[in-house]
Amino acid sequence: MTSPGTTSTDPTPGFRERVLALVARIPEGRVMTYGQLALLAGNPGAARQAGFVLNSLMGRSDLPWQRVINAQGRVSTHKVGFGDMQERLLMAEGVAFEHGRCDLSRVQWWPDEERAAPPAPLL
């Protein structure tokens, strides 16, 4: 049994809400990685669970789910049928892809209050 605000894939209560709140803040033309999102949501190592949260949004939410990509700078949604859409949405925001990857050093976003937290930007 889960408590309100959690699902069976939530590593801790409130993880889903923290993930969604972070995704809502990602500026246009910038991206976060699943691992980075999990770290900032308070659950380092829960990148897969962050992906599950975002998978539930695709095509059914106004949140910018497309702005979350994998640590290699690639979209990971091809397997679920949204990869081309995600790339198109990001390119429309100015995120360039070369050989299927974007340059995380240019477009990865960290909230101002979290910039000092990691010793170097985590991919």
Q: For residue 116, is it within any domain?
A: no
Check if the beta carbon of residue 6 is closer than 8 Å to that of residue 48.
no
Residue-level pLDDT at 93: 97
Q: For residue 121, is it within any domain?
A: no
Q: For residue 54, is it within any domain?
A: yes
Q: For residue 95, is it within any domain?
A: yes
Q: Which phi and psi angles does 19 have, rounded to 5°? A: -60, -50
CATH code assigned at 24: 1.10.10.10
Check if the beta carbon of residue 22 is closer than 8 Å to that of residue 41.
yes
Domain limits at 87? Answer: 15-108
Model pLDDT for residues 51-96, shown as the tens digit of each residue: 999 888 766 789 999 999 999 999 988 777 777 889 999 999 999 9
Residue-level pLDDT at 56: 82
Q: For residue 4, is it within any domain?
A: no
Q: For residue 62, is it within any domain?
A: yes
Q: For residue 1, is it within any domain?
A: no
Residue type, 98: E
pTM: 0.81
Model pLDDT for residues 88-115, shown as the tens digit of each residue: 999 999 999 999 999 999 999 999 876 5
Q: For residue 10, is it within any domain?
A: no
Q: Which phi and psi angles does 31 have, rounded to 5°? A: -140, 160
Angle at alpha carbon of residue 57, lines to 78 and 26, rounded to 5°: 90
Count of the separate structural domains present in the chain: 1
DSSP bridge pairs for 31: 108
Q: Which residue has the higher pLDDT, 16 or 13?
A: 16
Residue-level pLDDT at 77: 82
